[in-house]
Amino acid sequence: MSTPAPERPGAPAAPGSPGRWWGRMVGFVVAHVLWRTRVQGLEHVADGPVLLAVNHVSILDGPLVYSSNWDRGVQFLVKKEMFRGFVGWVLTQVGQIPVDRSGSDRTALSSAVAVLRAGGAAGIFPEGSRGRGDVAAVRTGIAWIALQSGAPVVPVAVLGTRRTGERSGGLPRLRRRLHVVHGAPFTLERPAGVPGKQALAMAAEQVRVRLVEHVAASVALTGETLPDDGGTTTSTRAPGAPGTTGTTDTPPRAG
């Protein structure tokens, strides 16, 4: 009898697993005890497959969105460097997906597609790295996932996790008011007769525009502005990461 291959770190956690249970409990503490988080638009992610496209300003953004959607158990694509030690163990237990940001990561992208095809919720930061959160550029991985899975994309604005002058790798002051605003879902479709790479770029630009509009609307709604600097971080930008305009990063060809 052959020995089963070891489970890949970050593979989807089975519903009802211990990791998912205590992940929900920790999520509540993060969102509503350590910080005062106002969550809006949860009706847009109530059930069925959904791909969350989140702006990115702080290291807390991922945990906060996960915590705000604790009943869905959102499985984020998280840079593989985070899967070390205790933090890596926690990420694996709650089903997060490690991704290699140095180039297209077929395994990570396919894992997200599998989550969505199973009716789950997946999350991604289209900008690819922390910055102002104004979505000046996106990577095309989100377009590939959306086109392959057919899942609706929900734009999510996270506000308050970093303010001007604060480090993107640091945490906001405890009990600060934070905001997680979910927008109306939309679906990406590949135009007929358009080559794969061009279709991905067009779809990624559609995500960027919709997320930009949603972030702006969320700022107006909450009164919480984006930081006016890029933040200070010790992380380095991966090769092929987005610049200041347009889209970049070519994942496996759609089709």
> Distance of alpha carbon 243 from its chain centroid, rounded?
18
Contacts of residue 40, Cβ cutoff 8 Å, sequence gap at least 6:
179, 180, 181, 182, 221
- Tokens of residue 94, six digits: 């709650």
Backbone angles phi, psi at 141, to 5 degrees: -55, -40
Task: For residues 160-173, give the mean pLDDT.
Answer: 95
Backbone angles phi, psi at 48, to 5 degrees: 75, 175
Q: Residue 208, SS3?
A: helix
- The answer to whether residue 170 scores a pLDDT higher than 50 is yes
CA distances from 185 to 18, 31, 40, 110 (A): 30, 23, 14, 21
Band of residue 203 on the pLDDT scale cut at 50, 70, 90: very high
- The secondary structure element, H or E, covering residue 206 is helix 196-222
42 DSSP 8-state letter: G
pTM of the model: 0.85
In this predicted model, what pLDDT tens digit does every residue of 45-96 receive, in sequence order? Answer: 999 999 999 999 999 999 999 999 988 889 999 999 999 999 999 898 888 9
- The answer to whether residue 33 scores a pLDDT higher than 90 is yes
CB 124 within 8 A of CB 23: no
Task: For residues 89-105, give the mean pLDDT.
Answer: 86
Q: Residue 217, SS3?
A: helix
In this predicted model, what pLDDT tens digit does every residue of 207-251 receive, in sequence order? Answer: 999 999 999 999 999 999 999 987 754 333 332 333 223 443 434
Band of residue 18 on the pLDDT scale cut at 50, 70, 90: low
Band of residue 103 on the pLDDT scale cut at 50, 70, 90: low
The mean pLDDT of the chain is: 84
pLDDT at 134: 96
Q: Which of 162, 131, 254 is nearest to 202 (CA)?
A: 254
pLDDT at 76: 95
